Amino acid sequence: MPKLIIKTNYYKNPQSYHIDRYVRYIATRDGVEKQRGKKDNNPYTKAQQELMDKCIFTFTDVADMPELQAFLDEPTRYRASEFIDAVLDAHADDLADVPELMKYIANRPGVEKIGSHGLFSQTDEPINLEEAVKTVEDRKGNVWNHIISLKAEDAARLRYDNADAWKHLIRRNINELAQIHHMDPSDIQWYAAFHEKDHHPHIHMLVFSKSGKGYLSKKGMEKMRSVFTNDIFRGEMFRMFTDQTQLRDRLKSEVNDLLEETLRFESPFQMYYLALLGRLRKELDGCKGKKVYGYLPKKVKRFVDYAVAQFANDPSIKELYQKWCEVNRQKLSMYHDSLQEDDVPLEDNGAFRSLKNAVIQAALAMDFTQLPTENYSNIGGLLSQLAKQIAQSSVKKLDALDKKTARGEKKEQQKINEKKLAHGLKPGGASEKEEEEPTENFSLEPLLDTIDIILLNKKPTKLRRVHVPSEEKIQEDYEAYLREKYGDDYDEDFDEEEGQGWGQSM
């Protein structure tokens, strides 16, 4: 139930609705402040029972009134009178044909009187009740009857348990009320009276124009409730608006930080986010015109929504959005009778529309030629190089061994030649001393260290093993998102050319 309840009726022909009786009724009830704290807890009377039966039989909507439940819990004279009074307040304009209730009105308690009656208006000039009745009765245009009520605890806490507070509330918002009723501020007229009740202290307010002009729409009725609620609960509303603004700014900052981490390849789930941005980049490259959400085709907008929804799954972002929604529900409960059960998804919330353009700009800024990848070909190349180096080293060592063997054979040949010379024979074979080629001392340590860095994961920031979602996987998840959001009959290829360019970036 909203904090402020407004029930509105209007009379197109005031005389035919016996508006004179109604004006006298709201103006001349006995003062409830005299009754405060004096409750008759004796059992309800037979006359009260008959009146209650008449109320329930005549007005079928009274079954949900809290006053009826209070009577059922406590069937006393006081609770019976309270229920009958509530019915009369809610249906005061329908009482002309119910004489039993009209007779009861003459003696019922419940109005704070100002002089001989309880009417007040835009000025403090004394109001003649009969002149006021005639003014309203002779009105040619519409007359609106607003019954505006608060819960008793809110009225007491905020000091709206007296006529003076309500009088000043209406007076300081008269320009807005004139606009809501489509009247000029100099043309609007009104009378009101304050009735205090245990469950919902309230006012009856009659609004009309001097010229007979003006009208009130359903949207205008909601606007009037908003104007009064924002004024009466301005302290609480200011706190809630401040909390919402702070949470919204923190959430946007978290998303921007996550996008920056992704662009710097520092996000724990960077490959998943990069795959999303990569797919979005392809979609954007196929679009003409401005690359902002409001100008994109509907098909591309849907994928942007999907990307925002994925970033919204980040734990810190999800927690902030849940807090924002909780404050938003408290704020909306000030205005509306009932709220939808589920919160609006982040990607569909107009307050966070700028996040969509932030994701778009991140996709456009990404240099997809510099993405960190698991380059298994480099590892294979290093292993191949290692094998070649080992082979080359082995060949050189074998060559050195061959040369060493050859040197031994040369010594034997030299001895033979010396013996030949001693016997006067010509020596044979090589006579020149061949220089020994040094064996190369080749080290494989640098190459092995490089392979260790990769295989043993010594540089996790650049070379961490991560799951890289394929384009097919992204498409599969995206289609599942569309089915869940739009149903099985969604058309992914549907594009709405009409209306492109309607929105601007927030």
Which one-letter DSSP state was computed for residue 120?
A: B
CA distance 426 to 376: 66
User: Do 167 and 192 contact (CB within 8 A), yes or no?
Assistant: yes
Q: Which residues pair with 292 in a beta bridge?
A: none
Q: What is the pLDDT of residue 348?
A: 92
Tell me which residue of 257, 298, 216, 300 sits closest to 6, measured CA to CA.
216
CA distance 69 to 7: 20
SS3 149: strand
Tell me which residue has tokens 């930080």: 257
Which helix or strand (DSSP H or E) is residue 481 part of?
helix 471-486
The pTM assigned to this predicted structure is: 0.52
Tell me which residue of 363, 366, 360 sits closest to 506, measured CA to CA.
360
Which one-letter DSSP state was computed for residue 295?
A: G
Q: What is the pLDDT of residue 66?
A: 86
Instruction: Specify the long-range contacts of residues 219-226, CB closer than 8 Å, at least 24 apart.
Output: 220/180, 220/181, 220/182, 221/6, 221/8, 222/335, 223/176, 223/180, 224/6, 224/146, 224/176, 224/177, 224/180, 225/2, 225/4, 225/6, 225/335, 226/335
Q: What is the pLDDT of residue 422?
A: 65
CA distance 406 to 455: 43
User: Do 201 and 194 contact (CB within 8 A), yes or no?
Assistant: yes
Q: How far apart are the first and last CA of the chain?
A: 33
Q: What is the pLDDT of residue 442?
A: 44
- For the chain, count helices (H), then strands (E): 19, 4
Q: What stretches of 106-172 show up as alpha helix (H) in DSSP? A: 129-137, 152-157, 163-172
- The pLDDT tens digits along the chain (506 residues) read 566 777 777 666 665 556 666 676 666 665 433 333 346 788 888 888 888 888 888 888 888 888 888 899 999 988 888 888 788 777 766 655 555 554 554 445 555 555 567 888 999 888 888 888 888 888 888 889 898 888 888 888 888 888 899 999 999 999 999 999 999 999 999 998 888 766 678 888 889 998 888 989 999 998 998 899 889 888 888 888 999 999 999 999 999 998 888 877 665 566 778 888 888 998 998 888 889 999 999 999 999 999 999 999 988 999 999 999 999 888 887 776 655 667 889 999 999 999 999 999 999 987 766 555 444 444 454 455 555 556 656 666 666 666 666 666 666 777 777 766 666 666 655 444 444 444 444 445 544 555 554 555 544 444 444 455 677 888 888 888 888 888 766 665 554 443 333 233 33
CA distance 54 to 102: 12
Q: How many CB atoms within 10 Å of residue 319?
A: 12
Q: What is the pLDDT of residue 103?
A: 52
Q: What stretches of 233-375 show up as alpha helix (H) in DSSP? A: 234-263, 270-285, 298-311, 315-332, 354-365
Q: What is the pLDDT of residue 423?
A: 61
CA distance 260 to 85: 64
Instruction: Give, in order, the Cα–Cα distances in Å from 487 to each of 299, 473, 481, 483.
Output: 16, 20, 9, 5
Tell me which residue has tokens 């044909």: 97
Which helix or strand (DSSP H or E) is residue 209 part of?
strand 202-209
Tell me which residue of 406, 391, 404 sits closest to 438, measured CA to CA.
404
User: Do 251 and 317 contact (CB within 8 A), yes or no?
Assistant: yes
Which helix or strand (DSSP H or E) is residue 218 part of?
helix 218-232
Q: What is the pLDDT of residue 378?
A: 46
CA distance 36 to 34: 6
Q: What is the pLDDT of residue 394?
A: 67
Listed in sequence order, the residues at least 6 apart from 346 whose beta carbon sits closer than 8 Å to its beta carbon are: 308, 309, 312, 317, 321, 352, 355
Tell me which residue has tokens 């000043």: 168
Burial pattern 120-132, b for ≥16 Cβ within 10 A else e, equals: bbeeeeebebeeb
CA distance 207 to 224: 12
